[in-house]
A and B are shown apart, each in its own frame.
Chain A
Amino acid sequence: MNTLNWNYIGAFLLELLPIIWVFLYSLIIIFGLIKKEFLIVYFLKLNCFIIFLLNLFLFTRNTIHYHTLSWNLNISFGHWFNVEGMGTKLELSYNFESFIFINLMVFLTVTIARFSRTYLHKEHGFYRFFLLIGIFMASFNTVVLANNLDLVFVAWELIGLTSALLIAFYNFREQTVRNSFWAVISYRLSDVFFIVALAFAHIMFHTTNISQLVIFASQPAFHQKMLIFCLLLIVGGLAKGAQFPFISWPMRAMEGPTSSSALYYGALSVSLGPILLIKNFLLFQDLLMVRVFIGAVALITAPMALIISKVRSDMKSTLAYSSIFHISIICLEIALGLKWLAIFHLVSNAFIRIDQFLSSLNVIQDFYENPLFFPGAKLNISNSDKNFQSSRFQKKIYHLAVNGFGFDWFIQNKVIGRWLSVLYIIESAEDKFVKLDPMIKDHQDENLNQENLWNLS
């Protein structure tokens, strides 16, 4: 077989393996085929190991073949669906960046899997957790490999869904479920821009293939359209990276298991924004306006995230916001055109955050067992309050940062609250109109009484 065919098969398997894992795992759960927890984890690790080998094989083969690191494989598997010219193609792109990101995903997922095996041992929802992690892995893989923005969006949506379901992992607690609503609201609102961007690309460029869009981007005649497209796409990607104005939802997202928080809000999910920018870097490298926009968002987010990370009273939020701070810096690096520095920064940040998140659970024990500390030393767990209590201005900043700079308050009271109050007026008007019918009213009252009785019991 020639090189092209091996690449074709390799990329196909690379994309398909996590999906097959999810499919098989779903069958295992449905039919209860495997009851042993460790087998599930080994099964996932084995899958990761095969992905790693395939990734290594593809990378080595192409690097030897092209004698450089700047090769790029564009592979098309035909149409996913097509109605009279309107549809989506299954197109993948594999290059050095993909190699790095897939390896990052594999190493971090294996770490999380190993950690979760003991952390979630006999936990209600152990199997659900691994299913969601599997879907996340398949989706992340697709975001990295896809050469088509439609496919990126498919994976993007699935990551959002798994994120929300993992926040609500301990779904027997009301507050946990409520907090997952915020993540869904943020994701859905930013997805509006993503969908509009895709429709815009379909209408203006008749394609969402990134390689073809790069050709359009290089032509000055299309700069105006490309500017609108890139801005829409970037705003669509802001929520995943928790960049301004979607900065406050990660505070509420720490309700899930520590291992999923580490993977999502410490390492990989928050990095999806920069990954999207890196993938589409060639689209906006000549568009100064877009780069200024990215830089501005990063410059607004970075200090906010840094201050929030200093004032949060829980370890997970502190780590998540320091990760978001770094994500802002990575975005700034991308805006400045330092793509490879951004990749290096992203990878190192992901590894450090995973380590910090996972060791955060036993930080107190680690401190007292550390032979470097003298006996009787006390751990200063929360000194952030004192740092921010010296002047009136600092106090104000402290209060603002503790409440996520008032975004939640503003959205809840000024936007959603007012909007709902108007809707309630309309609803009561409708109710009055329908309740002209006395029997309907009686029926509803009867049901509500039943409901109250049921609650009291």
Chain B
Amino acid sequence: MELVLGMIKAVLWPLVFQILFILSAIYFFNPRKAILSKILLVLAPILGIIFSLVEIIEWNNKVPVWGHIRIIFSFSFSVFVFIMLLVSNINKISKTDLVRTLLLYFFTMCCYFSESLPLFILFWMLSFYPLWLELKEELKDLKHATFLWHHLVSTLLLIGGVILLTLQHREILTFSNITHLSKTPFLKVGILMIIFSAFIREGLFPFHLWVRSCNSLNPYPVKITFYLSNIGLFLYYKLCAPLLLLHFHNASLVVTSFAILSGLYFANLAFVQKTVRMTFSYIMLGQFSFMFALLEQYHNQVKAVVLTQFFSISISYGALFSLIYLIEQKVGLLSRSIFYGLYRENQKISAIFLLFCLSIMATPCTLGFISEEMMFHHMIEHYSIFGIAHVICSALNGINVYMLYSRIFGGKREYYYSIDIKLNLSQKAGYFIILSALIFFGMFPQSILALMSGYV
């Protein structure tokens, strides 16, 4: 019976996703069925959330069919996409943007749930397709596109690495059988290639320039969804971390140094960005880099804390970027050198924005505080100097985030017309859900920490 249920779970859910997407694609180009297509498109992330929740609830009893890490990533990403659609008010997003975002969501989910590495690579490449479509419209000459060659290199590195690993194995590699690989001269090279591929995808220093060039253009919603899919982090967690533990244990310090260097670089460089969105992007890049620094440690506590932090900042940034999107729709590109004085007419938006900022700043009573504080302790315990660097970066990020908040909502107004950003019901509901989750788990973190440590 369990086997049958397992089979249903393993086959049915991806099937449902696929049918939904095919249906929505059919309906999308039929104007008469516009409402139905929108409903179908929104249904996809909802199903993703329900699917992940069902799996999470069952954790206490048994190991889920898909494995825990996939569920956490898919849950965070589904929540992000759902909230993104909800708060971005889907009617206002153009049709093409909507389809591309959801196409990206579909390929990312397929990446998470691919068991064999060739399939994973296929979806990895396909996940770039929606972004490529968008960029093709925005850029006349793709020869110069920074992101294009970044992703070309990252994909080639991934393919090369997997080929090197497969050379000695002589059968299709899967995420579960990589632990059976024996030591060969090619193994270390293969692992290194895959690690660098993950670093490029996740935008670690010095491979972050594609994020910069992407965000200089319109970052919403496709590009931000592309970054927050975190496939690079997933690849590192699922493939590189176990291989490093088995064959290359000394390399962990190198990975940590790389991650800390990235974190420091991004925290500092965020201060000299010209626009608000770029500053937030750099802070986000820095915070994700620190996860690499801790993921190389194999203690159960650490994994639980990192996953909590991942959940917290994915959701916070998702909501924050959507808010910036709403504001930029009204005000135009937000520069970080100007005081916009939006507080007076947008007090509620200002409060919501501040609460997301506080979660990112790791202020007490938000989920960000719990996870980041525990990350500090682990980091200082294992690498004191790196730990102190992490704390300093967090302090710098906090100062920067507060400055951004103040510049958007504080200061003297230089315009004489009203900028009243109104939230509709779905947007209010979306923000309310995220804020409630962040504050509730910030006040009572035991449930989420137990859930995450239940995985490990």
Contact = CB atoms under 8 A, between A and B. Distances in A.
Interface in A156-213: 157-158, 161, 164, 168, 171-174, 176-177, 180-181, 184-185, 188-189, 191-192, 195-196, 198-200, 202-203
15 contacts: A80-B446, A81-B445, A82-B449, A83-B449, A164-B402, A168-B410, A188-B396, A192-B391, A195-B376, A195-B391, A196-B387, A427-B269, A448-B335, A450-B333, A455-B338
B343 interface: yes
A174 B339 CA distance: 7
B144 interface: yes
Nearest to B139: A439
Given A171-B410, A172-B410, A423-B271, A436 B146 contact: yes
A455 B413 CA distance: 9
Contacts of A419: 268
Contact of A195 (B213, B373, B396): B373
A192 B395 contact: yes
Contacts of B445: 80-81
Most buried by A among B341, B402, B409: B402
Given A84-B300, A433-B209, A423 B380 contact: no
A319 B453 CA distance: 52
A186 to B, nearest CB: 10
Q: Interface majority SS on B: helix, strand, loop or mixed?
A: helix
A454 interface: yes
B216 interface: yes
B415 A454 contact: yes
Given A84-B301, A177-B406, A154 B364 contact: yes
Interface string A427-440: 10010011011111
Contacts of A424: 272
B166 interface: no
Interface string B248-270: 00000000000000000000110
Contacts of B391: 192, 195-196
B139 A184 contact: no
B301 A83 contact: yes
Contact of A202 (B377, B388, B392, B415): B377
A118 interface: no
B399 A172 contact: no
B20 interface: no
A122 interface: no
Contacts of B399: 181, 184-185, 188
A181 B446 contact: no
Interface in B406-454: 406-407, 409-417, 445-446, 449-450, 452-453
B22 interface: no
Given A83-B305, A436-B144, A177 B380 contact: no
Nearest to A422: B268
Contact of A443 (B216, B370, B392, B450): B216
Most buried by A among B399, B414, B416: B399
A433 B144 CA distance: 10
A443 B412 contact: no
A172 B209 contact: no
A352 B264 CA distance: 45
Interface string B353-368: 0000010000111000
A158 B366 CA distance: 11
* Interface magnitude class on chain A: 35 or more
A199 B377 contact: yes
A46 interface: no
B301 A188 contact: no
A79 interface: yes
Nearest to B377: A199
A436 B145 CA distance: 8
Interface string A141-161: 000000000100111011001
Given A172-B413, A184-B402, A426-B269, 16 more contacts: A85-B301, A153-B364, A154-B365, A173-B412, A177-B339, A181-B402, A419-B268, A420-B271, A423-B272, A433-B146, A436-B146, A438-B140, A439-B140, A451-B332, A454-B332, A457-B416
Contacts of A33: none
Given A423-B271, A433-B209, A437-B145, A448 B139 contact: no
Given A184-B398, A199-B381, A426-B269, A434 B332 contact: no
B138 interface: yes
Contact of B332 (A81, A426, A447): A447
Interface string B43-57: 000000000000000
Most buried by A among B339, B395, B449, B453: B395
Nearest to A171: B410
A434 B216 contact: yes
A177 B392 CA distance: 23
A148 to B, nearest CB: 13
Most buried by A among B387, B388, B410: B410
A253 to B, nearest CB: 15
A189 B395 contact: yes
Interface string A195-239: 110111011000000000000000000000000000000000000
B5 interface: no
Contacts of A158: 363-365
B183 interface: no
B272 A427 contact: yes
Nearest to B380: A199
A83 B402 contact: no
A84 B212 CA distance: 39
Given A420-B272, A447-B333, A451-B333, A437 B213 contact: yes
A426 to B, nearest CB: 6
A82 B410 CA distance: 39
A412 interface: no
Given A84-B300, A203-B377, A424-B272, A430 B209 contact: yes
A83 B374 contact: yes
A455 B415 CA distance: 7
A287 to B, nearest CB: 22
